[in-house]
Structure 1
Amino acid sequence: MKRLILIILLGILNSKASFSQKTFIESSGDILQIGIPAIAFGSTLLIKADDKPHWQFVKAFGTSFVVTHALKRIINKKRPDGGLHSFPSGHTSAAFTGAAFIQKRYGWKYGVPAYLLASYVGYSRVYADRHDIYDVAAGAAIGIIASYLFTKPYKKNNAIFLSGTFNKNNILLSLNYSL
């Protein structure tokens, strides 16, 4: 898993991203919003499992993408820099979909770094004046919820995962450790 992450990250960082007109923070956020989901999907192809994890990822990412872009068109909130379709942040949604998939599938050992990188993507969008904190928070929530709907923990390794249910009167969160 570590080797896969390193190979994918080096490939992405070696890509021909345009750093000339963008700041390093904005460009690295652009790269990571692709890299985190790529690592999540790549892991499903390299780690053998019987529960079809690649389809779990495709359903999570597809749901996140459709919900994010539908809301962008329906709400049509102005961006801080004057552009259109600010709410929710698509970069953040994609990054958090990948991070939540990694965390739910493989546990917090890999989830914490993935969430930190996804948070950096959100920060980069606010820093670049493309979104405000509400856009980023909504994108993160969409990505996490979409991944939690479709992702099953990988049972070969011990894993800690968070799950929850809610209705109009109650919220129940549980922290589980699987052997």
Structure 2
Amino acid sequence: MDLREEHGTTLIEFTLVAVAFVLLLVGILEFGLAFRDRLTYNNAVSVAARVGSRAGTATDSDWLMLQQLEDGLAAAGVDDLQAVWVYKSKSDGTPEPGFVNFYEFTGVGCGWNPCPNPADPAYTGTFNWAPTDRSVDSSSLDRLGVRAYFTHIWITDLLPAADAVCTGAGGTAIGTCWNETGVFRMEPQEFS
């Protein structure tokens, strides 16, 4: 056997393996970052819903939830929040029609449109489901849902997946963006 006949074989084999290895690394990176985003939002939304269930009928309960959500996302370095729904939840976790507060994240002024902070001059006090209307009586507790909509842009275009981009205004036309939901029963503040 003459070694001259095998010249370049190693280079070709390395190229085939290297391409597969690079694709594997890119896939791990892409899915790892997507998984990180989903877990970060899941945790932040759950904590925000827990804060809201505990705040009960306080006039600033939506504001407290949104602040908690922002803090949880900022701590993880995530900044692609688009909109949040705070709603009266059915038993399956879906919103009750007519009982959804839509908040669009703006990052300026109070940070939200409409502004839910009673201490802010931009506060309107207009809600589809006002905090003071939430049932905190132990015999008929409401379920509070918080749903955050966020974008996710893939780093490379090697995966056959479209970017998750939010469209529309006011949190009503959501497009293809991702969302995470947290639902908690309101904490009783009145005992029958």
The structure with more radius of gyration: 2
| TM-score band, normalised by shorter chain | under 0.3
The answer to which structure has the higher helix fraction is 1
Q: TM-score, normalised by structure 1?
A: 0.28
Larger fraction in strand? 2
